[in-house]
Every structure is written in C-alpha cells, then in structure tokens.
A = this chain, B = another copy of it.
Amino acid sequence: MRTGIWLVGARGSVAVTSVVGALALRAGLVEPTGCVTELPALRSPALPGYADLVFGGHDIAPTPIVKKAEALAAAGVLPARLVTALPDELASVEDEIRPVPAAARQADVIAALVADLTSFRHRHRLDRVVVVNVSATEPAPAPHPGHTDLAALEQALTTGATVLPPSSAYAYAAFTAGCSFVDFTPSTGARLPALAELAQRERVPYAGHDGKTGETLVKSVLAPMFALRNLKVRTWSGVNLLGGGDGANLAEPAANAAKAASKQRVLGETLGYVPQGNTRIEYVDDIGDFKTAWDLITFSGFLGTAMRMEFTWHGCDSALAAPLVLDLARLTATAHRTGRSGPLGELAFFFKDPLGTGPHSLPEQWATLCAFVRQLDADAFGAAVPPPVEQG
C-alpha cells in the first residue's frame, strides 16, 4: 500500500526528524526504537511498510530540510551520520514541499491546498494520503457560527471570509481531497462540529489531539497508580522548561493556555477529582530541542499521612514525537483503507487530549489500541489473524 504522508509544518523539528527516521528505517540504518507499531503486540501486516511511505508537505519557512536536519544533528536530536547517508532521499522529499498558498479569500487558499494534495497523490500513484499537522501551535480561534454547522461553514467560505484557523483549513482541505487527517498539535484542527460532519460525508477518518510525549505521558501512568492504590492526590504541580521553535511559540500566552489545559485533563479524568496545582510552560532558549519538566505530587495515605513524590523528565521532544507520527500515519492510513471514517478514539494512546470519551490511563489506552490493531488486521485480510505475542 503506497501511502503518502503530507506534513503540515514539514520543515519543523518533528517533521524533519520523522522524515530522516523513516528514510533511515527504510535503509536499515537504525532500529525502530520508539515506534510502538513495531512492538510484538502491535506489529501488523496490514500497516504500510517504511518503503511504502512517500513524504511531502507544506511549510511557511524556506529552510531546506537538509539544513534543518543538520541543525538537529548538531543539537543532539539525531545522529549526523544519518543526514550524510541519505542525501538523495532527503532531496526527493525536499522536492515535495510546497509553500503555504496565499490568497485573499480563505476558500481559495483551501482550494490551493486541495490541489497540492491531489497532485501529490497522482504524481506518486498513492493509495492513500494522510495529512499530519505538525506545524506550530496556533492560538484558539474566535468562535464563528460556521464552526458548528457544515452548511453554514460552506456558505461563509463563499463570502470570501477567513472563517477557520489555519489548522482547520488544513483539515478541511484534507477531507475535501479524500485524505485522512492527524492532528499532532493542540490546535483546533478537525475539532469543530462542521469538520466532523465533513469527515463523515467524505468518509475519511481523523485522529488527534496533541501528541503525548513528555510530562503528560508520565502523568498517564502515575495518576492511575495513585488511583488504583486509593491514595488521595492533593497537589500536582509542574513546570516545563523548553527551548526550540515550539518552546518559543508556546511561551505565547494564547498558545500556552491551550497546551496547559490539555496537560491537566488527564488528572481529572483519571483521579475523578482535580488536585491543586498547575502546569506551566516556560521558554528557555538554552534547552534547545530538549525539555526539562519537573512535577511535584503531594498525596495522603492511610489515616491521612502526608507523602510526596517529585520527578524530573529530561526528554528530547522531537525524538519522542517523530516515531509516533510514523505510527499514527500508518495506523490512520490503514483505518482509512479498511473503511473507517470519523474520529478514531482508539488512538487515544498517542494523545494528550484525545478525541472521544475513552480512558486517560495509558494501560487502558494500550489495551484499546491492541484491540484496534487486531481488528484492522481482521478487516484488511478478511479473516481472523492469529493474536500476536503479548508484550510484557
């Protein structure tokens, strides 16, 4: 299954790490560390192979991806040897990156996006194209009546107005072009009733929101631990220090607020109550593409005894995100192929702020994901496939 992955924000850290990694995997230069679809419990013949993936994308920035890859290597995000080993492959991806179309009317912008997607699919004879949003987080948009009703949205677009935030315009274009859509960012993306309607009409699936890679990942296993032991969490307070392009952007209060909210949701949903405390994000240029998060948890046990835990997480966000981008693209394309449409709540495992109402506990999300992949297999091959070996 030749599968296109169209990256919105294709020149950014996550996108370029995903591209270098996929090319390196295809060339057999690295192990698939961090790719969850490579775990025994999730490995599936229904998913497209790395050799079947073709990359393209949009970005507003002009930096060539090989320059970005070199910068990421200098920052310790990926090994320099991979960049030098893959010059032709990177050049081919470079050829498929388009500037973001500009037009006075948003309808025209969307039409140009659709044209870029359609042309990409035809040029490479792709079975499926997944659009993955890994562009900079945008502020929450002002409400608009077109957001809640597809007819109203289409009508508003005919007036020439700019009704949708960029991430939602990409989702609109993706659905219109018959592409599935993954939102790895906390932006609005497909999260508007009008777009849900559109996805159903076009019979395409979508997934989101906001890749779960650091502090929230840890929360999604620690919060259940306290819950399962009937310990009462009193405070959960954290700070995220991060650099890189994403850090600078998230230091903007508007973008920050969206992100911080999706980071705390897991606590309320897992514990059944919201402990005291906040999650703050601070931009620290020196930390570069890494992130340092510190969390303090105070809790009480039997007879009220006060206890505490703290953790420091020092992760490389792009290295954590990129394999999940590949996983999500492979899973969503396969979901599309096997006839799924609408929100893929089964992919909650990957997200801070998942679509739907599923559990926020990582192990429960894992169980759901395993069942989903087994079902994809069954659907793809028209028969029950043997259950995979369990992952310890």
Contacts and interface: CB of A to CB of B under 8 A. Distances in A.
Interface of A: 17, 20-21, 24, 30, 32-36, 38-39, 76-79, 82, 217-218, 220-222, 224-225, 227-232, 234-235, 237, 239, 241, 269-272, 276-278, 280, 282, 284-287, 290, 292, 294, 296, 298, 300-316, 319-320, 322-323, 349, 359-364, 366, 391-392
A304 B34 CA distance: 9
A285 B225 CA distance: 23
Given A82-B303, A287-B235, A280 B280 contact: yes
Contacts of A296: 241, 292, 294
Given A237-B282, A271-B392, A309-B311, 10 more contacts: A33-B231, A33-B304, A217-B229, A220-B225, A224-B362, A280-B280, A287-B298, A305-B319, A307-B315, A311-B311
Given A361-B392, A392-B227, A35 B294 contact: no
Contacts of A232: 33
Contact of A307 (B20, B39, B314, B364): B314
A225 B349 CA distance: 11
When all copies of this chain in the complex are counted, the total is 4
A73 B20 CA distance: 23
A284 B236 CA distance: 9
Given A39-B230, A217-B229, A319 B307 contact: yes
Contacts of A392: 227, 269-272, 359-361
A33 B302 contact: yes
Contact of A361 (B294, B313, B363): B363
Contacts of A363: 224, 228, 361, 363-364
